[in-house]
Structure formats: C-alpha cells, structure tokens
Amino acid sequence: MTAHEASGLLRKREVSSVELTEAVLGRIGEVEQSIGAHISVTSDLAMKQAAAADLAIQGGAVHSLCGIPIGLKDVLSTADVETTCGSRMLEGFVPPFDATVVGKLREIGAVFTGKLNLDEFAMGSSTENSAFHVTRNPWDLTRVPGGSSGGSAAAVAACECMVSLGSDTGGSIRQPASFCGVVGIKPTYGRVSRFGLVAFASSLDQIGPIARDVKDAAIVLEAISGGDPKDSTSLHVEVPNYSEVLGRSIEGVRVGVPLEYFGSGLDDDVKELVLKAIDQLDDLGAKVVDVSLPHTEYALATYYLLAPAEASANLARYNGVKYGYSDLDSSDVNDMMAFSRARGFGEEVKRRIMLGTYALSSGYYDAYYLKAQKVRTLIKADFDEVFQNVDLLVTPVSPSVAFPLGDRVDDPYGMYMSDVMTIPASIAGIAGLSVPCGFAEGLPVGLQMLGPALSEPILLQTAYAYEQEAKVSSKAPFLDV
C-alpha cells in the first residue's frame, strides 16, 4: 500500500494510524531478520505517535502524512532517539535535537517506525559499510540494496515503512532506489534543509524521499522542502504544490538523452530498458533529442576529491572528547583522541578521510582540491548549457542492477563506479530522481531523470506520466503482501 492510499483510508476512518503502525511493526518483525533494513526500530515512539495521529485525524488533521509510518535514514538527527550514522563512533549517541526535516514530519503527525541502515557516514554504494550489519535487497537476498541509503530503499521495498527519508551525496538515494525498485528523489541542493543531517560532504549532501510511487515521493518532498534559517545554504524559495502537477500531460516536454551516459560500462540489459523507457516518453508526446555533456567523464574523479576533502573536516569532530566512542584506556588526551578515531571509524571512512586530507594538504591543494573545484564549474556549465534546450535529461541510474553481496567490498574503485551516473548531478547541485523502468535478470532497474535547479515539478510530472504508462510492478517476489 502506498502512503497516499493509506492516507485516504485514514481519513475515511477505515483504518487507524495505530492499526497501520501495528501492521508495519508486525511486518518489520516478520522480515527484518532477512532484510536488515533497520539499525533501530522505534516501536514505542511509533505507537505513541500513531495514537496521537489518530486523535489529530479525529480533530480534523488533513496532512496526507499524518499517521503514516515513515522510516528515517540513521544519519538524520532525531531528538531522544539514537542516531548512529552506521558507525561504531556514534553507537549509543542520542542527539538532543531533531533535524529540521524530522521536526517538520513530527509536526504534521508522521509516525517514526525506525532508523534505517546505511553505509557508515553515508560513505558507500552498497550499505555493506555499515558498522552493524548488511542490508539485503528484498528482490534477491543475496544482493546488495545499493547505498548509502540502502536501508531506506530496502525498507520501503519490503513494506517495512510506507515511505522513508534518505540522503544523497553522489547518488545515495537514486542508486538504492533503482536497485530496490522504488522511487527516490535527490532534490536541488538547498531545496531541503540540511540542518540535523550528519554531514558527509556539505556542498553535495541533500535529503530526499524514497517511496513506492511518484505521488508518495511528491507528497514527502513537499513536506520536507523549504528554506531554513538554520541552514544558510538552503533556498528561500516558495515550495510548489508538487502533487498538483501529477497527471498533467508531458506533451511537448523536451527530453535530452546525453550520449555520455550510454557508453561502455553500461550493462546491455539496463541500456535496453532505459532506451525502451525513452521510447515510451516519446510516445507520451515528449520531444526526445540527443545531447552531450562533455565533461561527464571527469565527474567521478572530481567527486572523489571534493567529497572526501569536505568529509575530512566534517568527520574531524569525532575525537572521543564530547560524545560517541571514546577510547578510555588511553593514558592521555592525545592518545585517547587518536585511538578513538582509529577504532571508532571503519575502513572506508578512514580511506576517505585520508584521501581528503591529502587533497587539501599544502603542496597538493592546487593540483587536487582546486583543480577539482574548477572541473566542478565545467560540469555545472555542461548542464547549464544543455538545459537551455531541454527541460530534463533521461539516463540510467547505475550501469548495472544490484550486485551480489561481497562482490565489490575489496574493490573500492568498482564500488565507486556504480555511482558514475548519479554523481554529475550531485556535483552540479541540480535535481534528480530515480523511477523504476523494468527488470533485468529479475532485478529492478531505475530510470534517472535530471532537471535544472528547482525543476522538481517537471521531473515529477514526467516521472508520474511515465509511471502511469509503464506500470512497472513494485512488488518484490520475496514479499507476498
């Protein structure tokens, strides 16, 4: 069931939020053992919120997310609920405040069912970097759900929550959404407040929804968007009614197909499905044209300089002094800080901290960090130019379907490659989403739509039109619900 369907039932009093929440918690009880989408399940909180939501609905509360069970990626700060970022470093850490998006959802009566698994500090593409456990793909339990918001995507696909929030730095919403056959949106940089999102790479991070369909995603996006005085990088631009555009015709919408996204490295099955989807868009009246984004090939390298550089500073605060893991056997404060970091962080996190530290070091700054910033400008310019002539771009989300667990654990570069198609939009700060477009080898494949800054309405309109036309099943075989 989707959130908007459930919301209709709630308002007609055919079901209560308590019943809905009990069902979701029951479902978690049934499948969590196999999926492992959660780091913590907040049953007590959820039941309290559900009861309150029922009262609010009786009192006339109208928000479509009131009473709806929602899962949160465990990189979003939740007051009084442990927030680990999938790291030993923050195991047991209970923040004293809500992230702005969490506060907004709390305010409208959403029900928080749990904190969802992720790659440690959102660094990874398979959720295998979680310090606690792996998450399995509901479509094939031997495969990864993608990452870093793997828990958020798997939980929605496995019906362990109705919608969830993830975060996307280089593809961490879109890629797992694609792997798990659900819809994921990476909003325009600044569209959603980052306050309370534990930072990985501040200039790239964005929070976004993962949902069973485009309409749910639109509803959640609208609920969490908007300027925030606590986030100076947030955009103080009015939030459109995203649901309103759904159902409008895409006749005449100009769709660009960037050649660079269809080159070598792309699995044939995936390519075929995406090309088929493009044909369907054409059938729906969209004007499809070939375009070029010539600096695409530099995006991955640029990303792996900029993101680790920012991360090296963002993760510096975890030193065992104030909160989180502290190596208390050390003899003095310097040892304590050094050992806390050595033992509290996982391999991938340490790898990226070192990469970033190196890129910023005296003597290397110009060649790495500064050069990457310049290339970032070129990549942005590519998009600016192409969006002069098209309304949006359509590409694959990832070169392949979900890969087997363990397959790329010892191959960081191979792992990084799975984000090669999502990273450029992150670098440019533009809007993007992933919508299911079929199955290859029985595994979901996602279609990526990218639009200029604040183009969420046209992206949602197009994705919705496509979704209605393509009717791709969202029912994972493992899950008979």
Partner 1 sequence: MDPNSFRTVIGLEVHVQLKTDSKMFCSCSSDYADSEPNTLVCPVCLGMPGVLPVVNRLAVESTLLTGLALGCHISSESKFDRKNYAYPDLMKWYQISQYDMPLCGRGSLKISLDDGDKQIGITRVHLEEDTAKMIHSESRVGHKVSLIDANRSGVPLMEIVSEPDMTSPEEARVYLTTLRNILLYLDVSTANMQEGAFRCDANISIWPAGMDTGDVKVEIKNMNSFRAVFRALAFEEERQSRVWVKTGQPPEQETRGWVEASGETVSQRSKEYAHDYRYFPEPDLPPLKVTDHLISSLRSAMPELPESVFKRLTECGLRSSDALQLIDDRPLLIFFDEAMNEYPQPQRLANWILNNFVQELRDSETNLASNPVAPRGFVELLQLEDKGHINSKMTAELLGRMVSSGRSAKELVAETGGQITDDDELQEMVSKIIKDNPQAVADFRAGKKQAAGFLVGQIMKATKGRANPGMVNKQISKELGV
- Active-site positions read 73, 148, 172
Among 3, 25, 85, 183, binds partner 1 (CB under 8 A): 85
Binding residues for partner 1 restricted to 305-334, rule: CB under 8 A: 309-310, 312-313, 316-319, 321-323, 332-333
* DSSP secondary structure of 289-308: EEE--TTGGGHHHHHHHHHH
Report CA torsion sign: 267, 270, 272, 278. Answer: negative
Selected range binding partner 1 among 61-69, 230-238, 395-403, 414-422, rule: CB under 8 A = 230-238
CA distance 434 to 466: 12
List 59, 60, 96, 252, residue binding partner 1 (CB under 8 A):
96
**Residue 96's CB: how many other CB atoms inside 10 A?**
7
Q: Which amino acid is located at 74 in the chain?
A: D
For partner 1, the closer of residues 10 and 306 by Cβ is 306
| Closest to 28 in 3D by CA, of 64, 60, 71 | 71
Residue 7 preceded by cis peptide, ω within 30:
no
Per-residue mark of binding to partner 1, 151-190 (x: CB under 8 A): ----------------------------------------
Shortest CB 190 distance to partner 1, Å: 9
Contact between 357 and partner 1 by CB under 8 A: the answer reads yes
Closest distance to partner 1 from the beta carbon of 177 (Å): 23
The distance of closest approach from Cβ of residue 84 to partner 1 in the complex, given in angstroms and rounded to an integer, is 10
Closest to partner 1 by CB, 264 vs 362, is 362
Report in angstroms the alpha-carbon separations of 415 from 64, 68, 157, 210, 398: 38, 34, 22, 22, 11
Query: Binder to partner 1 among 34, 58, 142, 232 (CB under 8 A)?
Result: 232
Q: Where are the alpha helices (DSSP H) in 12-99?
A: 17-35, 43-58
Residues in the chain: 481
Nearest to 383 by CA among 303, 313, 465, 294: 294
Give the nearest distance from C-beta 202 to partner 1 in angstroms: 4
Can you say whether residue 253 is alpha, beta or left, with left for phi > 0 and alpha for psi between -120 and 50 degrees?
Answer: beta
In the complex, least distance from residue 313 CB atom to partner 1, rounded to whole angstroms:
5
Does position 365 interact with partner 1 (CB under 8 A)? The reply is: yes
Query: Does residue 369 bind partner 1 (CB under 8 A)?
Result: yes
> At its nearest, how many Å lie between partner 1 and the CB of residue 20?
29
The nearer residue to partner 1, 197 or 431, going by C-beta atoms, is 197
Residue with smaller CB distance to partner 1, 254 or 350: 350
Reading the block at residue 218, the tokens are: 């639109």
Do residues 459 and 186 make contact, with C-beta atoms less than 8 angstroms apart? Answer: no
Q: Note the residues at the interface with partner 1 (CB under 8 A).
A: 76-77, 83, 85, 90, 93, 95-97, 99, 194-199, 201-203, 229-233, 309-310, 312-313, 316-319, 321-323, 332-333, 337, 357, 360-362, 365, 369
